[in-house]
Structure 1
């Protein structure tokens, strides 16, 4: 059978088209997905939020029962206090150790009549200061629970009204034990709540009518806002 030139060209073109078709189809079917998005984890919170120098303000309430030599019951005093607090903390991981102090103005008053109601004792604590060691641990990086131990000083008015009485001042020294929690609001600011119990020594005051002995204890409940340098 004789094939003409035109027929040969047509057959060759058809074979070329068949050969190119699979590769075009394969090229159309290949899909390359885009790379997955890259999510960066947030940086971990700093681990030394409570380290360094700090200063702040503190405000709270207090109760201070006075043992009194002329009464079988205590003189119940209560009131408010507030002032300035500051100190320094060392932090190693979750462990925090510090030295801190307070200077406080106070209005903690009580009264008791004695001698059959003729005389009246009016103890009033008006100034306080203390210096304490603090040790604590962070339960999470932003929350510190702690305990404190140290010494305290208080100045008081110890006036007695009635026959044989007079105005008088007294100074008390003692030891203080307490604890609380502090929350870091940012890298510089923190809020704190603490309880302190202070056992003061006794003070004997001489009046024209005789000597009287006072022996107060004090419980304070305070909130503080601190700035860390």
Structure 2
């Protein structure tokens, strides 16, 4: 009898094992959450080109507008979402005011802005220098400029943006003429 009971118990245990094996739930899988894309870093050097429109006014006198374009370079620092930097722009123009060609406008600039997503909105100001020529003579004078801009990353190391600037050159070259210029330019920069 003991032999039958032992055999029955072993047989019952062996036949019930598959039933228990199928009823065990697998361990739940933790969902995989992708890491957020890192925010672009504005800190570092940049160099590029810009092209746009310039309107130059002579007071008293005439005004004219035309194409402006050139090269840009600078360096930005970033602290949290605040970006500040120094830059240099050198542009040639196709503007002639009252028989005088506006040959070049250069800028030594500071800027401060707020990084938002892939973009940067900023204010800029600094020193400006204009060179003009007429009748075989040339003149240069220093002034100031101020404006606003926006830049956005379009690739890992490439930004595209625009700037609207107002320039003032009072009593240009001591000649009693005030010159002002408004520029609107598209900029492409390669960051390193």
SS at match of 1:23: helix
Q: Which residue of 2 aligns with 1:98?
A: 85
Instruction: Give me the TM-score of the superposition, normalised by structure 1.
Output: 0.72
Q: Which residue of 2 aligns with 1:82?
A: 69
Describe how 1:72-151 pairs up with structure 2 within 5 A: 74-111=61-98, 122-140=99-117, 142-151=118-127
Q: Which residue of 1 aligns with 2:44?
A: 52
Question: RMSD across aligned C-alpha pairs, in angstroms?
Answer: 2.8
Q: What 5-or-longer segments of structure 1 have no aligned partner?
A: 1-7, 69-73, 112-121, 160-166, 206-211
Does 2:190 align with 1:182? Answer: no
CA contact (8 A) 1:83 1:104 kept: yes
Q: What 5-or-longer segments of structure 2 have no aligned partner?
A: none
Does 2:187 align with 1:195? Answer: no
Alignment: residue pair count:
192
What does the per-residue CA deviation read over 1:130-179, in whole Å, with 9 as the maximum and x for residues that have no partner? 10111111122x211100110111111245xxxxxxx5433232110011
Instruction: Give me the TM-score of the superposition, normalised by structure 2.
Output: 0.85
State the 1:19 CA deviation: 3.9
SS at match of 2:177: strand
Describe how 1:60-75 pairs up with structure 2 within 5 A: 60-68=52-60, 74-75=61-62
The higher radius of gyration belongs to 1
CA contact (8 A) 1:50 1:184 kept: no
